[in-house]
Amino acid sequence: MNFIRKITSSHSQKDEAFFMMMKSILGYNPKNISYFKEAFTHSSLKKSDAEGHSINYERLEFLGDAILGSVIANYLFKKMPNADEGTLTQMRSKIVSREHLNELGKDLSLKKFVQSNIPNQNFGDNIFGNLFESLIGAIHLDKGYNFCEKFIYRNVIEPYVDIERLEGKITSYKSVLIEWCQKNKYKIRYQIYEDTGNDSHKHFSVKLLINNELVAKGRATSKKKAEEIASKRAYYKNQNQINP
């Protein structure tokens, strides 16, 4: 405790609380807490340093994304010695998918640390994955690649990566559905329209038609997500035909 008091003696109790929370997530005492503060600083604050460089998590997110991909690639390379490049790439994409990263960020409750001019409830789910990547970037700057690797093994690979299960995981229901329709010469069409409803954020709704028959609907904050939701619903409606 004396060590922590020395580090935070010139800072507020709020800083000390943040230090302790980061320590519990990381599993070690951060050397430079400013990296982690930046990892949770949203661009809406428009913060900058003395030289005019922006201070927010976006650059750390870029760094963390690259390191995460590298660690996962190295793990798969060793774990799947008979897999070709295409298979390894697909497996890595499944592990570091936006959906999976968002879940990892939720598990660590990262959104509660965000410093922003935007109310937390207005953020979409992608904020969780963005913060998870920026946290990895901060760990790399603070302690180096080896600590990043340990963190990723502890929080991603050991609890979540099951090679056999991932080999059968679908990453894009839309792609599977389009391939099935092309194979059977079915006409597939997505009708997209803007749908604000009573929500504060713009939403898009989509109708998925196969051979001009309405098969499924989807609604989300982006066209791509809405299409994927509708495609997933259509896939499970027709699963016995798609996978006879």
Q: Per-residue pLDDT tens for 73-101?
A: 999 999 999 988 988 998 898 899 888 89
Overall average pLDDT of the 44-73 stretch: 94
150 with 219, same domain: the answer is no
C-beta of residue 36 within 8 angstroms of C-beta of residue 23 = no
From the candidates 15, 61, 99, 133, give the one annotated as an active-site residue: 133
pLDDT-derived band at 241, boundaries 50, 70, 90: confident
Residues in the chain: 244
149 with 213, same domain: the answer is no
pLDDT greater than 50 at residue 7? no
Classified as helix, coil or strand, 164 is helix
Among 132, 164, 196, residue at a domain's last position: 164
127 with 225, same domain: the answer is no
108 with 213, same domain: the answer is no
Which tokens hold the place of 2?
Answer: 């004396």
Share of the chain above pLDDT 90, in %: 56
pLDDT tens digits, residue range 142-161? 999 999 999 999 999 998 88
144 with 187, same domain: the answer is no
> What total number of domains does the chain contain?
2
Which tokens hold the place of 80?
Answer: 């799947």
pLDDT greater than 80 at residue 133? yes
112 with 219, same domain: the answer is no
pLDDT greater than 50 at residue 5? no
* Domain of residue 231, residue span: 173-242
**How high is the pLDDT of residue 200?**
60
**How high is the pLDDT of residue 161?**
86
63 with 91, same domain: the answer is yes
124 with 210, same domain: the answer is no
65 is catalytic: yes
Phi-psi region of 54 (alpha: psi -120 to 50; beta: other; left: phi over 0): beta
pLDDT tens digits, residue range 59-79? 999 999 999 999 999 999 999
**How high is the pLDDT of residue 120?**
81
133 is catalytic: yes
From the candidates 15, 16, 51, 65, give the one annotated as an active-site residue: 65
Residue with tokens 């302690």: 143
For helices 126-143 and 58-79, angle between their N-to-C axes, nearest 10 degrees: 80
Overall average pLDDT of the 109-114 stretch: 92
Residue with tokens 């960020």: 105
Q: How many CB atoms lie within 10 A of CB 214?
A: 11
Residue with tokens 């069409």: 189
